[in-house]
Chain A
Amino acid sequence: MDRHESRFTYTLLRKIRSPFVALIGLVLPNSYLTVLVTKQIYEGPLKQACVPFLNCHACPTAYMACPVGVLQHFSAIRQFPSFLVGFVVAIGMLFGRAACGWLCPFGWVQDQLHKIKSRKFAIPRFLSKGKYLSLAVLAIALPFFTEDHWFSRICPWGTLSAGVPWVAWNPDDPSLGAPVIEPGMLGWLYALKISILAVFLLLFVLTKRPFCRTLCPLGAAYALFNRVSLMRLHVEGPCAECNLCVEVCPVDIRVSDDPNAPDCIRCLKCTVCKHVSVRWSYADGIRPATVSPTSPEGR
């Protein structure tokens, strides 16, 4: 593939990314419309496997399980989730956090809301460590010690895609002969979840992908592999420091300095700069050298 065709491919990829996520990440895994008749969530064989992104399996129309829900479950029953760990490590080793940029419906929701015109704010760098805490404490340690799913209790995507639809719809469960949500079931916890969701919805407008960068346990797991994954971003010098990559980046990364930073979701928006490209390599060093204009090579 010559250089011209290669840039055309990147342009095409950037254009199809958003509709691709909407179709493959949002619509397809949540298309169990039979629920409108049965009034019960899908519990067939597909739900024994999980999608490689955040997608609440309690959503009325969900076909598959959420990896973070599965992780919490296995922590709660104190068993090692071989399938899940193998699945996440394989995806991470191949693509890094690409699933966050190319499949996650909640990331897509954040991108769409951030398009609303308003004053924008940057997220302090130290808050990006929060997602590792979320993974270690809310998704693993607390479920292990308390046998409860703590991350699911606060997950804004779970609230938006499952909690709110069930409460708004509230059909009669045929097996119970009573409404799914009975009076009195909605207590302080539901109020807390709605409050967390409301805060995040506001943050989505004001900042770039705050949930992905500060709270998502799955993003934290994938982030561990960004520097060693086979899919890699590569910056060919000399970088003119035009800051184009920083301006378009949905997670505020300076791609020219650290193309495989843990927060990078591999959305490929930065390929708008002709110096940035994707490279597939199992031999690249963990921090491939980039050429900056301040280095002797870049002058």
Chain B
Amino acid sequence: MDNSFVRNPVRYIRIAMLLTALTLLLSGIFTGDTTLIRIESATL
């Protein structure tokens, strides 16, 4: 067994964060939260 894989938690953090990001992104698409974006100008 590769001991460095067990000792290095950073790779687990990276994989977990990428999976979390993908889950959030997909859930955002499926729940339609992108459609909530209001085109509002605060430019003046």
Binding site for B on A (CB under 8 A): 41, 43, 47-50, 56-58, 65, 69-70, 73-74, 77, 79, 81-87, 89-90, 93-94, 148-149, 152-153, 158-159, 162-163, 166-167, 181, 185-186, 189-190, 193, 228, 230, 282-286
Contacts and interface: CB of A to CB of B under 8 A. Distances in A.
Contacts of A84: 28
Q: What 9 A-B pairs are tightest by C-beta distance, nearest first?
A: A83-B28, A86-B25, A86-B24, A82-B28, A58-B41, A152-B42, A89-B21, A90-B21, A163-B43
Contacts of B18: 90, 93-94
B25 A82 contact: yes
Contact of A167 (B22, B23, B29, B44): B44
Contacts of B22: 86, 90
A82 B42 contact: no
A83 B29 contact: yes
Interface of A is mostly: helix
Given A83-B25, A86-B22, A282 B42 contact: no
A143 to B, nearest CB: 10
Given A73-B36, A81-B33, A286-B10, 5 more contacts: A65-B37, A77-B36, A79-B33, A149-B42, A166-B41
A89 B24 contact: yes
A82 B44 contact: no
10 contacts: A43-B39, A58-B42, A65-B37, A82-B28, A83-B28, A89-B24, A162-B41, A181-B44, A283-B8, A283-B11
